[in-house]
Structure 1
Amino acid sequence: MALSAEILTDPAQLERERAGWDAAAVAAARPYCAPAWALPWWASARPAGAELRAVAVRDAGELVAMAPFYVTRDRFGIATWRLLADVTSSFAEPVTAPGRRAEVAAAIGAALRDSGEAVDVLALQDVPADGAWATLLRQNWPGRRPALAPVSTTRAPYVDLPAGGYDAWLAGRSRNFRQQIRARQRDFAKAGGTFRRAASPAEYDAALHDFVRLHMDRWQERGGSAALTPEVVAMLRGAGRSAGPGRLHLWTAEVDGAAVGTALFVSAGDETHYWLGGFDEAWARCSPSLLLLVEGVRHAAQTGLRRLSLGPGTGSYKYRLATGEQTLETVDLLPHGLRFPYVRLCQSPYRFYRLASRRTPPAVKQLLRRAA
């Protein structure tokens, strides 16, 4: 029997699909695609004027996939379909069991075609290239295939955990790294340092306060942080209330009860992803952020996870922990139709801006933020 799909436009409809949607995110091992992360983003941090257009895909009435799109329209009237939370986190893509991606892509394409709405641009941002969602959606699109407009690629290092767990992973790192980590762990312990994972809603709220403070303090002299807006902070509070046990891990490094470092991890299936962190510059000598990532690896191994993604970016500290890397791609699909030439024309300056933004060195961006 062919899959069926419907477009949901009311958050209450998505709430009713929470269990099946979460099961699809767990099967796909995509933490940021789960309802506990995406729905708080929609409630608190969505762009002004965004409209919900989630595609629910069913097999004999059972939800087997979710593509939670939202639509924005620019000043030219271009309707861009994106995935919930894509501006806040990477790896945002349709979710289903790996073996069903092709048929799900066909169902999504048919639903968008039959919706009667303008689908000028289907934007996928920082999605794994090896997941091939851009290719699958294009190849299985009904009728003429959309134009494929690549924007950029980036790398996302990860830690694959061996059968021997944390000790086997550490043994696979360089001798210099092992010596440095053990020395910093000893120094931190001698100073009275400990690590704590928020285990209750009250602990999470307290740890979130420290998380925001430490991150913002560190970025204040760099022109501010674009990652933690008030809207995103509200989203994180909602995610803390929404996520089930073992799905949202907020770690704190403490000395005498005072937070000197924090790190947030989000999990689904057999993967956990590092989202963001912060630390007190006064404790930089102990590298609390690096020690928290090591604790994240230890915890992932203890709980039987297969992979810890360190997120997009090529910071040298990530590669000291990493065992491999993924390529993330940002790509636009432009369906053909009467509006296609107009969309192409209007997209030209927008694409140039995105390319320029992606290729601007971080130091230059910091100078621009200070100037602003």
Structure 2
Amino acid sequence: MEQVGKWDRSVRRSAELTVQVVDNTEDVPSIQAEWESLRKRCRGSIFSSFDWGMEWLRHFDQVAQPRIIMVEEDGELVGLAPFAVMEHRAMGIRMRKLSMVGNGAGVAELYDLGILVLDEREDVIEAIVDAMDELEWNVLHLNELRDDAVNRALLRRVAERWDTDEIVQIPCPRTQIPQSGDVMEAVSSRTRRTIRKAMETLEQENRISFRTVDLPEETAEAAELYALQHMERWSEKGGSIFSNENLSGFLRDVMRATAEEGRGMVYEAWIDGTLASQMLCLDDGDVMRAYRVGMNNRFSEFSPGNLVAIHAMREAQDAGFKQFDFGAGPEEFKYRLGAKDVPLIRIQAKRGTVKAMAKLSSLPGVKQLVDRTGARDQALRAFHR
């Protein structure tokens, strides 16, 4: 390994490829142009973009440090693996978890992630895995990856080298947006009736209006308001994830940055002059992504989450989007709005002390002891954290 310029990054050269690892958040901005150029050529999601990755690293730098693997050929970036390493302790064992930037810190989990490889090149994927082998980690947790040829090839190579779990699939429901007609025809008949009844009641009395927020500062303010309403709604149900200031700050700043690029907006439904529901949306190619949706419980009789969702879907249809993505997770409301599962995948592996611990805990007698002490559950929580 050697140092390159002022960067704190490692370098290894093969016959044709140069592999570098950026391991300092301060150095990440210097690769913005290369990162974005490759992502667009590989059709990576907005969550794999430089802006989203950088904001995530900036807000969660106390728990996650970058390990961004770059593979270059003749000065051109042909492979990028935006990893981060996080450290936990379980059963007195130091667990260093290698995850994707954007997913693995336990909050603000992004999805539709993965490594970016030009033309699905096998030699570039192999170079990335070689570089992974030289990083310091004992748990690999690559969650909510796009199920494509590149990430499947990554899985095969990981399984060849390390103790790898069976692949896990995570549902990510999407609705196909009809190119003509009313988007209401895509939703379930029961939901369609519910929405139409609510709209008839509210429109007859001029009680409802919709608003689109897309200016950067206003979008940031709308994201802050979303976080505040989330905290209020969950105050008596165990608390809100947005009580974490890093998470609420991340949401505000990343929505501002996305709006500055003309790719982020917030759709709002107002009832009786009060904010009833919001949907934070992202323009991602031919996909409109509903990143967050929230509602004011005061108006629950009208299902305002459904109302703002239909409004957003109509806006997406008018703008020419082909799909409406409701995000990872099998929440029932997504299917009622016409969504079908698009699977994501999870790659998990272990090595070193964690691999030895897993083997030891499976032995008769030891397994019973581990289960009785709760150590196994503690280790699993740290693994999935």
Q: TM-score range by the shorter chain?
A: 0.7 to 0.9
For residues 71 and 102 of structure 1, the distance between their equivalents in structure 2, rounded to whole angstroms, comes to: 24
For residues 227 and 52 of structure 2, the distance between their equivalents in structure 1, rounded to whole angstroms, comes to: 18
Q: Which range moved further: 14-23 or 282-291?
A: 14-23
For residues 346 and 225 of structure 1, the distance between their equivalents in structure 2, rounded to whole angstroms, comes to: 38
Give the gaps of 5 or more residues in structure 1: 359-372
Q: Which range moved further: 152-161 or 95-104?
A: 95-104
| Residue deviations 1:144-184 (CA, integer Å, cap 9, x gap) | 532221485432211122333xx354334344433332232
Residue type of the partner of 2:275?
Answer: A
The number of aligned residues is 349
Give the gaps of 5 or more residues in structure 2: 1-14, 363-375
Calculate percent identity across the aligned residue pairs: 22
Larger Rg: 2
For residues 284 and 124 of structure 1, the distance between their equivalents in structure 2, rounded to whole angstroms, comes to: 37
Residue matched to 1:264? 280
Residue matched to 1:251? 267
Aligned residues of 1:124 and 1:134 also touching (Cα < 8 A): no
Residue matched to 1:184? 198
For residues 211 and 221 of structure 1, the distance between their equivalents in structure 2, rounded to whole angstroms, comes to: 17
For residues 132 and 90 of structure 1, the distance between their equivalents in structure 2, rounded to whole angstroms, comes to: 20
| Residue deviations 1:222-244 (CA, integer Å, cap 9, x gap) | 11122552111111222133224
Give the C-alpha shift of residue 251 in structure 1. Answer: 2.0
Residue matched to 1:212? 227
For residues 82 and 16 of structure 2, the distance between their equivalents in structure 1, rounded to whole angstroms, comes to: 21
Q: Which range moved further: 293-302 or 58-67?
A: 58-67
Residue type of the partner of 1:199?
Answer: D
Give the C-alpha shift of residue 295 in structure 1. Answer: 2.0
Aligned residues of 1:90 and 1:125 also touching (Cα < 8 A): no
> TM-score with structure 1 length normalisation?
0.81
Residue matched to 1:363? none
Residue type of the partner of 1:52?
Answer: P
Equivalences for residues 179-328 of structure 1 within 5 A = 179-189=193-203, 190-226=205-241, 229-243=244-258, 244-255=260-271, 257-328=273-344
For residues 123 and 197 of structure 2, the distance between their equivalents in structure 1, rounded to whole angstroms, comes to: 52
Q: Does residue 69 of structure 2 align to residue 52 of structure 1?
A: no
Residue matched to 2:97? 80
Residue matched to 1:126? 144
Aligned residues of 2:220 and 2:253 also touching (Cα < 8 A): no
Structure 1 vs Structure 2 CA RMSD:
3.2
Give the C-alpha shift of residue 286 in structure 1. Answer: 1.7
For residues 210 and 39 of structure 2, the distance between their equivalents in structure 1, rounded to whole angstroms, comes to: 29
| Residue deviations 1:318-370 (CA, integer Å, cap 9, x gap) | 101134102333331235xx657436459982687349989xxxxxxxxxxxx
For residues 159 and 355 of structure 1, the distance between their equivalents in structure 2, rounded to whole angstroms, comes to: 34
Q: 1:69 to 1:257 in 2, by over 3 A?
A: same
Corresponding residue to 2:380 among 333, 353, 359? 353
Give the C-alpha shift of residue 46 in structure 1. Answer: 4.1
- Give the secondary structure class of the aligned counterpart of 1:78: strand
* More relative contact order, 1 or 2 (CA 8 Å, 6+ apart): 1
Q: 1:105 to 1:97 in 2, by over 3 A?
A: closer
Corresponding residue to 2:50 among 35, 38, 45? 35
Aligned residues of 1:92 and 1:127 also touching (Cα < 8 A): yes
